[in-house]
Amino acid sequence: MYRVLLSTGVLLGLVAASAVLADAPKEPIKLEADKAHAAHDGHAKESHAKDAHSKDGHAKDAHAKDGHDGGHQEESLLSISADLGIWTVVVFILLMLILRKLAWKPMLEGLQKREQAIQGALDEAQKARDDAQRLRAQLQKEMDHAAETVRGILEEARRDAQHTTEEMINKARQEINTERDRLQREMSIARDQALQELWNQAANLATLISAKTIRRNLTPDDHRRLIDEALADLKEVSGHGVKEVTKFM
């Protein structure tokens, strides 16, 4: 940027110098032309005041003087133009040096600082955007992992609940079957005991009847009454055994 500004300044200086050099000869030429015209008018008046014989000689002298003045005028214009161009270049160089030290250098430093600040801001913005994208990707990854973990926990809880339910059902079935088997065994034992007691009572009753029959002679009426008593005792014993079996059932 410094080279660009310096080149621009030099180009502007050259353009200004060219313009000054182009415009400088106009005023001196006009000034010298006015002087020559005034001198020519003066000589013309003097030539008219003299006699007619010396008129031609004076006219020749006036023309010779005009030629000499024209040559001197051209030399003066070239000298003035060269001096003006040199001083213009010198002034321009001094102006460039002063501007470089007092204006361009601080301006360039300010522009460089501003450019550095803008570049730093752009770098910070790019870094912040990269960090935001990285954090977003990390957050998305963590969310996906959390969702997968939650799904796994729910699936495991469902399996555990199903397994626990099945275990509870199987355990309840086993307990029910065990209790039923126990009741069936107890009922079978109670029934067997009741039947055994019934048969024992029947045997005892038969033994008693036989003993009574042997001890005495029975008439038909006694025999019938004995049978009725035995049947009544048998019914009583049978009813007691049935009640015991029903109670155990």
> What does the domain layout of the chain look like in residue ranges?
2-141, 185-248
CA distance 133 to 17: 59
Q: What is the pLDDT of residue 81?
A: 64
Spatial distance between the Cα atoms of 114 and 111, rounded to a whole number of angstroms: 5
- The pLDDT averaged over each successive group of 10 residues in the chain (249 residues) is 54 56 45 49 48 44 46 53 76 80 77 89 92 92 90 89 89 90 89 82 71 61 69 63 45
Q: What is the pTM of this model?
A: 0.32
pLDDT score of 212:
63
pLDDT at 219: 64
Q: How many Å is the Cα radius of gyration of the chain?
A: 75
pLDDT score recorded for residue 31:
43
51 secondary structure, DSSP code: -
Q: Smallest Cα–Cα separation from 77: which of 38, 32, 37, 34?
A: 32
How high is the pLDDT of residue 239? Answer: 57
Q: Report whether 241 contacts 196 (CB < 8 A).
A: no
The residues near 92 (Cβ < 8 Å, ≥ 6 apart) are 13, 16, 17
DSSP per position, 96-157: HHHHIIIIIHHHHHHHHHHHHHHHHHHHHHHHHHHHHHHHHHHHHHHHHHHHHHHHHHHHHH
pLDDT at position 217 is 58
